[in-house]
Amino acid sequence: MTAYMDHKDLGNETIDEERARQIADGVRGVLARIAEAEARAGRKAGSVRLLAATKTRDVGEIMAAVDAGVRMIGENRPQEVQAKADGLARQLHARGLELGRDVPFHLIGQLQSNKIGKVLPVVNTIESVDSIELAEKIARRAVMRDMIVGVLLEVNESGEESKSGCPPSHAIDLAKRIGAMGGLRLEGLMTIGSHVDDEARIRDCFARLRRTRDQILASGAEGVDGCVELSMGMTHDMGIAIEEGSTIVRVGTAIFGPRAFI
């Protein structure tokens, strides 16, 4: 398949003890950071869920994270979803868990419309919907398959050109239109934090996303009442995101260590 996947057999299900222990330590560390940030922000324990960002990690590594308490997985690339879905489903089943039901599977990376069919049978939620065109294409496929796909609207709060996401000024209108589409369930908003050292700017992006979510809910428009999630915060900025209302943090490096390849 694609060159980046030649680096590693992503379907591999075995793992040595040392590596499994590293990952378990990573999960415990992240769960502790989440709990501390919840307490610091005066939020209820357990109000923030951990999504393990599993790009470049194989099935064995992901299962080590599940065994340490991870209950949500996010992949960036449709090819990686395909490469791992069967192995994950089988390994989870052996532990009495079901992929999707007990361990929701999200797509968190950009989705080209010709790949929608690859991810739809497996993922519960697509976090990277940032245009009406993409939403309509997913909706059409979902209706054809007689299923409902969860969607987060991705907003480019940082304004950085390299980032995906819709312009913030379009977010409320897009959310209302997505909420009204059959085949989709609008579950919330997602953003990637500003890639700067200035904590105030990072915080500001997260706070704006929260206000946008609140405005969408307050609009009372058709199909937006489930728009509650705020997927924001990664390894380096999860504490700030939780203080600003994040409900899902997407964490890779702090669980698994540096990425094996890009």
Ligand X SMILES: *Cc1c(COP(=O)(O)O)cnc(C)c1O
Applying CB under 6 A, which residues contact ligand X?
53, 55, 76, 108-109, 192, 234-235, 250-254
Query: What is the closest distance, in whole angstroms, from the C-beta atom of residue 221 to ligand X in the complex?
Result: 27
1 near 259, Cβ under 8 Å? no
Between 97 and 234, CB nearer to ligand X:
234
Query: What is the closest distance, in whole angstroms, from the C-beta atom of residue 146 to ligand X in the complex?
Result: 29
In terms of Cβ atoms closer than 10 Å to its own Cβ (0-12, 13-18, 19+), residue 46 is exposed
Q: Who's near 218: CB < 8 A, 6+ residues apart? A: none
Query: What is the closest distance, in whole angstroms, from the C-beta atom of residue 220 to ligand X in the complex?
Result: 30
Between 87 and 252, CB nearer to ligand X:
252
Between 213 and 250, CB nearer to ligand X:
250
Question: Which residue's beta carbon is nearest to the bound ligand X?
Answer: 252
Q: Is the dihedral of CA 32, 38, 44, 46 positive or negative?
A: negative
181 near 139, Cβ under 8 Å? yes
Query: What is the closest distance, in whole angstroms, from the C-beta atom of residue 1 to ligand X in the complex?
Result: 19
Between 23 and 224, CB nearer to ligand X:
23
181 near 215, Cβ under 8 Å? no
Between 108 and 149, CB nearer to ligand X:
108
Query: What is the closest distance, in whole angstroms, from the C-beta atom of residue 241 to ligand X in the complex?
Result: 11
H helix intervals, the chain: 17-40, 59-67, 78-94, 116-119, 132-144, 171-179, 199-219, 238-243, 253-256
Query: What is the closest distance, in whole angstroms, from the C-beta atom of residue 225 to ligand X in the complex?
Result: 26
CA 141 – CA 131 distance, rounded (Å): 16
| DSSP classification of residue 187 | E
Distance set, CA 131 to CA 43, 101, 134 (Å): 32, 27, 5
Between 60 and 252, CB nearer to ligand X:
252
